[in-house]
Structure 1
Amino acid sequence: MANAISAPDIADEVPWSDTLTPYDEAHFVTYVRLLDAEAEGAEWPEVARVVLHRDLDANPVSARRCWEDHLARAHWMTRSGYRHLLESA
């Protein structure tokens, strides 16, 4: 059986920057999963639980903020962040 790739820890808030950050580089897959879930019409609580590993029973407000923040950064990646990838290639 192939070794599973461990998912990086997901912070409560994305460290925002006008350029790619090490956090972004570690979370490309997370961002794609969030965008895919959005395109499929998935409900935010399920996405927060499955993709972001948030416990909605413990803190639903924090889970929602985490989902909103990461989804916003995922959208930033599609508008601007990808340019930084191309420039560094």
Structure 2
Amino acid sequence: MYKKIWILVRKEWAEVFRNRFVFFTTAFLPLLFTALPLIILYAASSSGDWSDAVGMSDMPAQFSSQCEGLDAVGCMQYFIISQFMLLFM
């Protein structure tokens, strides 16, 4: 039973490596979706003081209840990351 499954898995992965489009979507896009929020967070943290540009009025009203105890910058970073969580589902 396991031998048949192993043969099928090897066949599918061999086809993935033969077809560039399938390989691109299998390998590169998950890496891109992982790197994109990290790059945005790094750029946000190194760009200086966000408190002038970011306000709680820029976010949805129901989201402000989840940001208790955070300043405006931390809440905005949390909001951005929560938007990217849809990419991982």
Give me the TM-score of the superposition, normalised by structure 1.
Answer: 0.24
- Structure number with the bigger relative contact order (C-alpha 8 A, sep ≥ 6) is 1
Find the structure with the greater CA-based Rg.
2
Higher helix share: 2
